[in-house]
A and B are shown apart, each in its own frame.
Chain A
Amino acid sequence: MVTIKLENISKSFRNFKALDNINLEIKDKEYFILLGPTGAGKTTLLKVIAGLIKPDSGNIYFDGTNASTLSPEERNLGFMFENYALFPHMNIYDNISYSSRVNARDVDQTKMIVDQVLMMTLLTGRNNAFPEEMSGGMKQRVALCRALMNLEQSKLLILDEPLKALDAGLRMDLRRELLLMAKSEQLELTVIHVTNEEEEAMMVADRIAIIDNGQIIQVGTPDEIYYHPKNLFVANFMSEINYFEGKCIKNIEPPWDIYKKSKRGDKFFEKIHEDSVPKLIDIGQENKFATYVHKSVSEEIDEENILLVVRANHMKLRLGNRLNQKNNAFFGKIIRRKFMGVFYRFEVLVKFNDFDKIIIVVIPASSEIHETFQVGLDVTVYFPKELGIIVKNPGKEEIANILKLE
């Protein structure tokens, strides 16, 4: 069993606070992702868990026991470093078998295991190769094997941006491999995986912790993070978004038809909006917008000053101006479009009272889309009520900070 609990962990370097009162719990056999932009403190946190850095304050518990004073060599975890840190003066065999040797494990048994491991990762016969001769993908496999060999007692694997150094194409394949390996019956690992790519996080995580500026912003399943982001930062981190400033006008009373009934009777949206309250929003357009306010944000927000956030890939398009009270709709003109392979990306210019706004719409590509939605045409942009997100309006400066690229 491997559970981890971080309690009030803080760490500063000179004048710079890298970790600010971190509290986190990771469950047994969980594939846990630590997600955040560069410089958020992810690697520092990993090193604290591994014992390579001592926190200024706070405690770490492994399976309920306080492990804060244990040195790294005593913590028995597998650590895979960004850029791998393969010992350049040792060949593959010596690298992989290193932990067995320094823990004085049986030599013959070690050889057997290493041979098997090499076979599984298609590296047989390369025992004597040195790291400088290997490609990025190979080095990654060796680094992974080396970390796994240390897992005899504990079953905790820590990965620090394990795919970052690889070409984009390889990354897609290897993500899934990592997940399958961790969940396999033989291994059943608890994994902490650090990344700054949101797609990677969504692909493999049981739960995700969003971290920025040394603080944990939100922890939840991919669903929760995606559909119920706690604030604009989290919302923006997970996909391209559109946001609108506005205020709540009133609650929506039944018998307004809230849940879209699908042909297959899907209860997905019922589930994610179990704890939400439907409200009507005014964002400065003539028609009003209906969406849900999730309970996790309802305390934080000031109903007079909220942001309505809709993900670019939740927007839909229809030709022409179709006024439809039940669907939250904008009317505008397509000013740009781009084929991106799986998706088409549109920029639609929409008029508001004092300003014009560009709404980003991303929809699955098909030949109909290709032929129908040309630049210059009038269109209706709309989104299902269930897919609107309400968060607190942090103010113009903070919005610019989060969205502005500097």
Chain B
Amino acid sequence: MNLYNLGDILSKLSKALQDQELKNVQMPFSLKFDRFFSKPIYRKSLDIITILFFTLVIIGPIINIFSTIFLNIPSIYHDVFNDELIGDLQWLNILNSLGVSFSIATIAVIVDIVIAFPIAIILTRYDFRGKKILDALVDLPMAVPTSALGFSVLLFWGIFGISPGMILIILGHIVFTFPYIVRNLKIVLEKAAILYEDAARTLGASGITVFRTITLPMMKEGLIAGAILSFTRSLGETGATLILSGLVETAPILIVGFRRQLELPSASLLAGILIAISITLLFSIKFFSRRGSFSVKRVWPNLERTLSRKTLRHLRDILAIIILIIVILIPSFYIISRINEGNLFEELFLGQDYKWVYLYMSLMSSIQIGALAVIINLGFGIPFAFIITKREWGKIITILDTILDIPLAIPSAALGFAIFLFWGPAGIGLFQPGFFMILFVHVTFTFPYMVRPIIGVLESSDVGIEEAARTLGASNMTVFRKITAPSIKQGIIAGCIMVFTRSLGETGATIVVMGNIRTIPVLIVDWVEANNIASAIFASTVVIIFSAFLIFALRAVTNRRTKMIAKN
């Protein structure tokens, strides 16, 4: 069509358009429904219900722990500091366990950062065949429930004669914290835009100088946040540690021990301390990561130029990959190679206690709980994500945003115990240890895993198209149904998969509240402790394969989303 004939066509058409026409106004039911529920009152009620849920589920138990401690100071004092038999031995135990946990966490995080940095750089800055495979491999340990992971680590290093104890715990924590640190570094390195590094290079800076003066300072905040979160995760790890610890007691192990022996005051105190520490660390991320800077003034151009030469870089990369394989990947999956060991068939199927029944039942329990956790968290998580991204409540939103991360930071055993206290026989009494309390615990822990990805897609989604839809006459509900929901679909799916995976692997809190039910990770711990090695191996393998499948599904979903964004 000739550009210049447009004028003619337009004038002819405009005449036709000006004819008055009958428009039958008959709104379809779905739109009427939307308009009705878009009224402010419904939105406000939904907000209130969501916040209520959030409070009960997360804040309630925490407050309860601290109030329990304060209300029971006499008995705590008696049990912990002034027992007739052992004096303040309990307190010394507690302090000792905290010290152990802290040192393990510190060492694990530092070692992980050192290994993860080159790997993260390889994954974000280089392009080569097989990059996707390396990326997937690095993610995999995250898929595996920690008790299975712990067991695999135990078996592997056992070959070299390393028996349960401090060193083995550290080796285990290095493995399971690694994927979190790599993921965090990848995100941060990608954000620390390549653009600035390019600018620095054109100004004459070589590799290491660019890294020191540009990349590191720009990723400082993200790096610190990631390190602290990984630190708290290591602090709270229970499942694998139970298997690897031998006689060493970390803080979460001590809580589990107290709970098993019904020494509730001691458990309360330790849980309270752990929760307090974790919350402090969490809040410190927000306030302190702005201060402090790397020195960007001093430069040693010649030295750094030499160090940046290609050969040294390649050397570093190869070394990192070798360590990755030996220290992290092989121990994680070693267990699969041992599956045919021992009398698996006999033990599992022919033994007197019908182990395979237990296996089946605990698998079912895990899946049921996981599925229910997903559904409940979907129902409350989506509105909550909307509250955080869309409501203009000022400081309240910042508070909610920070508190949201608490389940990530708190040792699961501690929070599990808090929930037990709050909802169980010693507290409100609404729930007994068992299925529902386990479900409760899982909902609490997985809530951030649902909300965060949804917040992520909401924030990066185009507010513009929602406004455009509103200007075209769509009410809030219609906008959500037809415009927002399709575009955040991927975020929701990612959230569901992450919730399910995390629920599958949850050990510490589950042990505290489980009563007679066993989920798969706990079953593995039980069997290892009871020396039913072959069964434990089998169970671990089943769980590893199942989780690996979930992680691949997660990656497929999020990759598709990145492609769609790139296209648009």
Contacts and interface: CB of A to CB of B under 8 A. Distances in A.
Direct A–B contact in the complex, CB atoms closer than 8 angstroms? yes
Interface of A: 47, 50-52, 71-73, 75-79, 81, 83, 85, 87-90, 94, 98-99, 101-104, 146-147, 150, 335-336, 347, 355-360, 400, 403-405
A72 B201 contact: yes
A405 B2 CA distance: 11
B1 interface: yes
A142 B240 CA distance: 54
Contact of A85 (B3, B196, B209, B213): B196
A102 B7 contact: no
Given A101-B297, A102-B209, A400-B1, A81 B199 contact: yes
B201 A52 contact: yes
Given A81-B195, A94-B296, A102-B299, A356 B205 contact: no
B202 A77 contact: yes
B128 interface: no
B490 to A, nearest CB: 22
A134 B297 CA distance: 22
Contacts of A52: 198, 201-202
B271 interface: no
Contact of B204 (A103, A335, A356, A405): A103
B202 A88 contact: no
B218 interface: yes
Contacts of B297: 94, 101
Contacts of B209: 102
A71 B218 contact: no
8 tightest Cβ-Cβ pairs between the two chains A and B: A99-B203, A79-B202, A358-B4, A85-B199, A72-B201, A102-B205, A104-B301, A89-B217
B7 A336 contact: yes
B214 A87 contact: yes
Contact of A71 (B195, B201, B217, B293): B201
Given A73-B201, A81-B195, A356-B8, 16 more contacts: A52-B201, A71-B201, A72-B202, A73-B205, A87-B199, A99-B204, A99-B205, A101-B297, A102-B205, A147-B203, A150-B202, A150-B203, A347-B7, A355-B2, A357-B2, A358-B5
Contacts of B213: 98, 102
B296 A89 contact: yes
B261 interface: no
B302 interface: yes
A94 B1 CA distance: 56
A103 B199 contact: no
Nearest to A242: B4
Contacts of A101: 297, 299
A104 B195 contact: no
Given A335-B7, A357-B4, A400-B1, A85 B301 contact: no
Interface in B207-221: 209, 213-214, 217-218
B198 A102 contact: no
Interface in B236-269: none
A98 B204 CA distance: 9
A98 B203 contact: yes
Given A88-B218, A101-B297, A356 B5 contact: yes
Interface in B165-217: 195-196, 198-206, 209, 213-214, 217
Nearest to B6: A358
Contacts of B8: 356
Contacts of B1: 400, 404
Nearest to B8: A356
A347 B7 CA distance: 10
Contact of B198 (A85, A88, A90, A405): A85
Contacts of B205: 73, 98-99, 102
Contacts of A85: 195-196, 198-199
Given A79-B199, A81-B195, A89-B218, A73 B5 contact: no
Contacts of B196: 85, 87-88
Interface in B90-104: none
Contacts of B199: 79, 81, 85, 87
A176 to B, nearest CB: 25
B216 to A, nearest CB: 10
Contacts of A335: 7
Nearest to A404: B3
Interface in B3-36: 3-5, 7-8
A150 B4 contact: no
A294 B527 CA distance: 90
Contacts of A103: 204, 301
Nearest to B209: A102
B211 to A, nearest CB: 12
Contacts of A146: 203
A94 B200 CA distance: 12
Nearest to B194: A52
Contacts of A72: 198, 201-202
A346 to B, nearest CB: 13
29 contacts: A51-B201, A52-B198, A71-B201, A72-B202, A75-B202, A76-B204, A77-B202, A79-B202, A81-B195, A85-B196, A85-B198, A87-B196, A88-B196, A89-B217, A89-B218, A98-B203, A98-B205, A99-B205, A102-B200, A102-B204, A102-B205, A102-B206, A102-B213, A146-B203, A150-B203, A150-B204, A356-B5, A358-B4, A360-B4
Contacts of B296: 89-90, 94
A67 to B, nearest CB: 14
A400 B1 CA distance: 7
A6 B206 CA distance: 25
A353 to B, nearest CB: 15
Contacts of A71: 201, 206
Interface in B47-100: none
Contacts of A357: 2, 4-5
Contacts of A150: 202-204
Contacts of A75: 202
Contacts of B214: 87
A104 B302 contact: yes
Contacts of A47: 198
Contacts of B195: 81, 83, 85
Nearest to A350: B4
A358 B203 contact: no
Contacts of B202: 50, 52, 72-73, 75, 77-79, 147, 150
B163 to A, nearest CB: 48
Contacts of B206: 71, 73, 102
Q: Specify which of B7, B199, B217, B299 lies most central, judged by the most chain A CB atoms within 10 Å of its CB.
A: B199
Contacts of B7: 335-336, 347, 358
A83 B214 CA distance: 17
A81 B3 CA distance: 36
A85 B209 CA distance: 17
Given A102-B205, A356-B5, A404-B3, A89 B293 contact: yes
A353 B129 CA distance: 62
Contacts of A400: 1
Contacts of A99: 203-205
B204 A73 contact: yes
B302 to A, nearest CB: 7
A146 B302 CA distance: 21
Contacts of A76: 204
A99 B200 CA distance: 8
Contacts of B299: 101-102, 104
Contacts of A78: 202
A94 to B, nearest CB: 7
Contacts of A50: 202
Nearest to A358: B4
Interface string B390-414: 0000000000000000000000000
A269 to B, nearest CB: 28
Contacts of B204: 73, 76, 99, 102-103, 150
Contacts of A94: 296-297
A101 B295 CA distance: 13
A23 B296 CA distance: 40
